Amino acid sequence: MLIQQLVNGLTLGAVYTLIALSFSLVMGILGVLNLAIAELFMLGGYFGFAVVMAQLPLPLALIAGMAGAALVAAIVERIGYQPFRTASVVTPMLSTLGFSIILQNVATNVWGSDPLQLTDEVLSGRFNIGPVSVSAIQLTVLGVTVLLVALLAFLVQRTSIGRALRAVAENRDVARLLGVPAGRVTLIAFMLSGALAGAAGVLIGVHYAAITPYIGVEIGLKAIAVMVVGGTTRIWGALIAGPLMGVVEVMTVAYGGSQIRDFVVYGFMILILLLRPQGLLGGGRSDQGQRV
């Protein structure tokens, strides 16, 4: 059972990591907590479901989910972020909360509040290795997560686009003086993060095969926790923190008692933050850039 629970924990962790990535793309770089990401994830799920239910292949569902969510993310950026660039960080956080309220309501009106379920499992193959059983979709989620983390880390930390993003976040005018098209760059960041959330929505929706308009809330919260534990400025952080939190959560349920799960999980998060106030990989660089 231990190994099976580890697999459960890792899958859950991968799920967290996937969503944490889209949060950290805008949080780590632009410094805004886009709360609507939880709902972009939900939307991605619904778009993906629509495609899967039309008997179309999974990659197509992924594309639909990513494109749909990226489009909505673009609207969130234009209305919910751009006008609040210069305001305190709480303000864009709340304007994006406005979007998440709207999106939940719209989804309820369009798809209903009942769980929408897939009748057949997509990628239902299972692999049994001894007592452990892993499904194809689980493996897909794990694989895609690692791939996306690597891709994103490369993009943000190694390419000039990532650097440009960070520059815009810190000082928009200066970035423009250096030739960075600031408006376009933030829009791209939001859409990218939206696309990630959408992809996560499709994969995770298909994995659990049931979604509701409120699916993003709890899992979004955990994903933010994962992002914070990993450190917002380092993409790789999420890849460590996600599975860590996933395993802690699952092991608490398995061996400690499921009642105290939230207590333990959040306690663990606080503990890590107290030991490393900028998260595991937050190395404390950009946040500590204070001098007199």
Partner 1 sequence: MSMYYAGLLSDIGILLLGALSVYIILATGQLSLGNAGFMGIGAYLTSWLTVEVGLPVTAALIVAALVSGLIGIAVGFPALRLKGIYLAMATLGFGEMVRSFFQNFTAMGGSGGFHGMHHVSTGYIWTWALVILAVIMLIEASPIWLEIRAVRDDETAAGLVGLNPTEIKVGAFGCGAAVAAIAGGLFAHHHVYIEPGNFSFERSIDFVLAVILGGSTVAPGALAGAVMLVILPEYLRFLADWRFAAFGALLIGMLLVRRQGLLDRALFRLVLPRSQA
Partner 2 sequence: ADEVVLGAIVPSSGPFAEWGRTNTATLQMLEKQVNDAGGINGAKLRIVILDDATKPAQATNNLRKLAGDDHVLAVAGPLTSSAAEVTFPVANEMKVVSTSQASSKPGVAKLNRPWAFRNTIDEGVLGRTTVPYYKEAFSIKTVAIIFDAKDATAATVGSKIMPGLMKDNGIEVLNANDPLSFNTGDLDVSAQVTKIKALNPDGVVVSADYSQAVTVIREMKRQGVIKPVVGSTQLISSAILKAAPEIPIVAPATFYASMAGDKPEKFVKELTPVLRKISGLPAEIEPSMYDANIYEIASIYIEAVKKAGVTGKPDDLEADRTRIRDYMAKLSGFAGLGGPIAFNEDGDAIKAFYIVQGQNGTWQSKVRGCSAPDGKQGC
Partner 3 sequence: MLRVSDLVVRYGAIQAVRGIALDIAQGEIVALIGANGAGKTTVARAIVGLLPYRGEVAFEGEVLKPNSAERNLRRGVALVPEGRGILGTMTVQDNLLMGLYTRRDRAQAAKDLAALLERFSILAERRNLLASLMSGGEQQMLAIARALLSKPKLLLLDEPSLGLAPKMTDAVFAMIQDLRREGLTVLLVEQKARQTLKIADRAYLMETGRVITSGPASELIDDPVVSETFLGGRAAPVTSTHAG
The binding site for partner 1 (CB under 8 A) comprises 27, 33, 79-80, 83-84, 87-91, 94-95, 97-102, 104-106, 108-109, 221, 224-225, 228, 232, 259-263, 266-267, 269-270, 273-274, 277-279, 287, 290, 292
* Contact status: 25 vs partner 3 (CB under 8 A): no
Per-residue mark of binding to partner 2, 67-106 (x: CB under 8 A): --------------------------------------x-
The entry of partner 2, partner 1, partner 3, none near residue 54 (CB within 5 to 8 angstroms by kind) is none
Question: What is the Cα gyration radius of the chain?
Answer: 19
Q: Coil, strand, or helix at residue 113?
A: coil
The site partner of 181 among partner 3, partner 1, partner 2, none (C-beta below 5 to 8 Å per kind) is partner 3
Q: Is 177 exposed, middle or buried (0-12, 13-18, 19+ CB in 10 A)?
A: exposed
Give me the least distance between CB of 109 and partner 3, in Å please: 40
Site string for partner 3, 125-164 (x = CB under 8 A): -----------------------------------x--xx
CA distance 103 to 34: 13
Q: Report the C-alpha gap between 39 and 46 in whole angstroms.
A: 10
Looking at residue 287, the DSSP 8-state letter turns out to be G
Least distance (Å) between residue 166 CB and partner 1: 16
Residue 249 near which of partner 2, partner 1, partner 3, none (CB within 5-8 Å, type-dependent):
partner 2
Phi/psi of residue 209, each to 5°? 60, 15
Cα angle value 138/141/232 (rounded, 5°)? 135
Residue 50 binds which entry of partner 1, partner 2, partner 3, none, with Cβ cut-offs from 5 to 8 Å by kind? Answer: none
241, 249 Cβ separation under 8 angstroms: no
Which region, judged by CB under 8 A, interacts with partner 2, from 25-33, 55-63, 150-158, 213-221?
Answer: 213-221
Is 135 near partner 2 (CB under 8 A)?
yes
Choosing from 57, 83, 133, 154, the residue that interacts with partner 2 (CB under 8 A) is 133
Tokens of 166: 């960070």
Is 166 a binding residue for partner 3 by CB under 8 A? The answer is: yes
Q: Where does residue 125 rank: exposed (0-12), middle (13-18), buried (19+ CB within 10 A)?
A: exposed
CB of 177 vs partner 1, minimal distance in Å: 25
Q: What is the DSSP letter of 159?
A: S
Per-residue string for binding with partner 2, 35-64, x by CB under 8 A? Answer: ------------------------------
Three-class SS of 201-264: HHHHHHHHCEECCCHHHHHHHHHHHHHHHHCCCCHHHHHHHHHHHHHHHHHHHHHHCHHHHHHH
- Minimum gap (Å) between residue 51 Cβ and partner 3: 38
What is the three-class DSSP state of 7? helix
Judged by the rule CB under 8 A, the positions of this chain that interact with partner 3 are: 160, 163-164, 166-167, 170-171, 173-182, 285-286, 288-291
